[in-house]
Amino acid sequence: MNERWLCAVSVAAVWTDPDAARLVDLPALNHPVQLEKWLGQLTFQDRLALSEEKRIQTQLLYGETVIVEDIVGDWAKVIACSQKSRKDSRGYPGWVPLVQLSMREQPRARQLVKVTAREAMLTERSGEPFLRVSFNTVFPSGLPQDKRLHVWTPHGWKLIRASAVEPVEEVAITNPLIVGKKFIGLPYLWGGVSSWGFDCSGFVYSMWKACGMILPRDACDQAEAGRSISLDQEDWQIGDLLFFREDEASSIHHVGIYAGYGRMLHAPSTGRCIEQIRLLGTEYAENVCSVRRVAE
């Protein structure tokens, strides 16, 4: 097929295969997606299985473009075009429920806007709420209306609070920590790239995306971005990426953002929340294997 479609729900999980979704995941497969219900009913073991049983690969934000390679029953085999991965040169592969995608073509727009608020509500022209969307969601924009802005969505033109978005080309934040700190306390979610939850590399990917830089989606690929920096902490700068592995024989399993003064901002693991910690005396301090600088 190789057709370009759009994500038609606020956040869609990209599953490893159609059999990866469980009965407990049904709210995450609907249109509209029921994120709060899904996350609220997941036990710690349910959440842990998303990673340990390799059920979820990543997520899509509303309006994000995918290449649909094939349709099998109620599922679409897709490539997430904007998420770089060694798994496919075109983007990140996986499966999404067909009901969560739209065939509608995205119009050409002179300007794109990005949600800079943690969350934002799309409304109808009448002011009636339509859909809550995540930080980093991108829309083609139209004319302003009072304190709102027309934006194009997979469901047609909607309105969004103008103060919740910024033109993509005008995003001037160069320090991902400024963005990332507003998510401290948000529970970790394997595969997450939205304000409903991030995993470690999804957090790094999303914070740098908010600053106008597109990094690869996974930590192992992010560890090849930018340039290598010494493991001597005196050489580290705020915003450097810190990578971790358990021993020399193992692969990279974690990434965080250096916050200066021996601290790191990161999404740690299932059952924990995004946090800023001091590295000294932690297991992380002993397992730093690589430092990369992706911005000068």
Instruction: List the catalytic residues.
Output: 200, 254, 266
Half-sphere exposure of 258 (CA within 13 A, CB side): 27
Length of the chain: 296
C-beta of residue 86 within 8 angstroms of C-beta of residue 44 = no
- For residue 255, list its beta bridge partners: 243
- DSSP for 30-78 reads SSS--HHHHHHH--HHHHHHHHHTT-EEEEEETT-EEEEEEEETTEEEE
C-beta of residue 134 within 8 angstroms of C-beta of residue 36 = no
Q: How far is CA 37 from the centre of its chain?
A: 20
DSSP-derived letter for residue 255 is E
What's at 139, amino acid-wise? F
